[in-house]
Structure 1
Amino acid sequence: MKALLNSLNEDEKALVRETGSGELADLEEDGLVDLHTRIRRARDKYAKLYRRTASTRVAEHGGRGKARPKNLRNAQKAEVFEDALARVSWYLARAARRSASALKAERVAAAQPDRRHPRPAAPAAPRKRSRTTARLRPTGADPARSRREAATRAKGARRQARRDAR
């Protein structure tokens, strides 16, 4: 990996250096979007170069996989930029969630009137659920139980469909 990073030109090295955690933590959402776009373009460039070069060698080598050793540098560069893109995407998603929650809080605050003495909320009446609804919904957060119950319901539905078809 280090040898490949040393084979990048200065612009590409600078672009990869911008994806360090210290640099990404300082950027705001707009800066992250810009960096994300630049890295995605670099990744796409080398991925296209790899595919195009490999496809021209298919006739000579008999397949793109067999032609890969001759085209390894483009594939590795695409992977370097793919890793950098993943890091930037993670930070961008985090910044987007943060700004979305701040915007939501602003909207909620703007929508609520300024009340000095809020009225006490009326207690909500308990909702009645039918026995079948209560039975069909999983009670816990156990994914295995949810799958098992779903399989049981599906099996019953298949049996009923077979009976109806007769």
Structure 2
Amino acid sequence: MDDYLWVLKDDELALVRELEPERLKALDEDELLDLHRRVRRARNKHVKNYRRKAALDVKAAGGRGKAAPKGGKARWRAAAFEEALAIVSGRLAHVAHLQAEALKEERLARARSGKSSGPEIADHPQGGKVGPGRDREYEKTTGGLKRDASSRAQGARRQGKKDSR
């Protein structure tokens, strides 16, 4: 990351300084998401600027090979924010994983203790817990069951076709 600092402006340097390991460790998931959004926007801006200038250089030079040496600072800035985005994305993934594991453990502990996290109804005959639902007022006929199965199979075939593209 230090290779790119010479090309960044003051406001861009301030954004990159937020990626110092001590500062990143102090951020929670929401703050990391905000930082990720800001770094991604800066990266997109510089990549767009670099590509636009490079496209003009190709026209002027008459080929990509002749135009390649140009666009130095813009290319360095785009590369700097690409690396910055990778750093923030990695930290965000780590923090999100830790929070997901903590939430999972909390839910499992609640389930083991018999406390449901679902809705409760005070005057329900099953002691405040929601039951399996109401029984149907009618019974499906064989034709309805077959038709429903056919419809589900048709949807599965259609999804399989999309997935194989």
TM-score scaled by structure 1? 0.63
User: In the alignment, what sits opposite 1:126?
Assistant: none
* Equivalent residue number for residue 12 of structure 2: 12
Deviation by residue 1:33-65 (Cα, 9 ceiling, x = unmatched): 111110011111111111111111212112345
What count of residue pairs does the alignment treat as equivalent? 115
Tell me what 2:33 maps to: 33
2:61 is equivalent to residue 50 of structure 1: no
* CA offset digits 1:134-157 (Å, max 9, x no partner): xxxxxxxxxxxxxxxxxxxxxxxx
Distance 1:48 1:31 in 2: 26
Question: Counterparts in 2 of 1:66-85, with a 5 A limit?
Answer: 66-85=66-85
- Which letter does structure 1 place at the counterpart of 2:90? W
The amino acid that maps onto 1:38 is: R
For structure 2, the residue ranges without an aligned partner over 5 or more in a row are 115-165
| SS in structure 2 at match of 1:79 | helix
**How big is the shift at 1:102?**
0.5
Amino acid in structure 2 at the alignment position of 1:98: L
Which TM-score applies when normalising by structure 2?
Answer: 0.64
> Which runs of 5 or more structure 1 residues have no equivalent in the other structure?
115-166
Task: Give the C-alpha shift of residue 110 in structure 1.
Answer: 1.6
Letter in 2 for 1:13: L
> 1:113 matched to which residue of 2?
113
Offset of residue 6 of structure 1: 3.0
On the 8 A contact 2:7/2:76 being kept in 1, the answer is no
- The offset of 1:66, in angstroms, is 3.0
What is the SS of the residue equivalent to 1:70? coil
* 1:61 has 2:46 as partner: no
Question: Percent same amino acid at aligned positions?
Answer: 50
Query: 1:42 aligns to what SS in structure 2?
Result: helix
Note the C-alpha offset of 1:2: 5.1
For 2:9 and 2:95, locate their aligned partners in 1 and report how far apart those are by CA, in whole Å: 30
Task: Indicate the SS of the match to 2:71.
Answer: helix
How many Å apart are 1:68 and its aligned residue? 3.2
Which residue in 2 is equivalent to 1:97? 97
TM-aligned CA distance change 1:90 to 1:67, over 3 Å: same
Taking structure 1 as reference, are residues 61 and 17 closer, same or farther at Cα in structure 2, changes over 3 Å only? same
Letter in 2 for 1:94: H
- Distance (whole Å) between structure 1 residues aligned to residue 20 and residue 26 of structure 2: 10
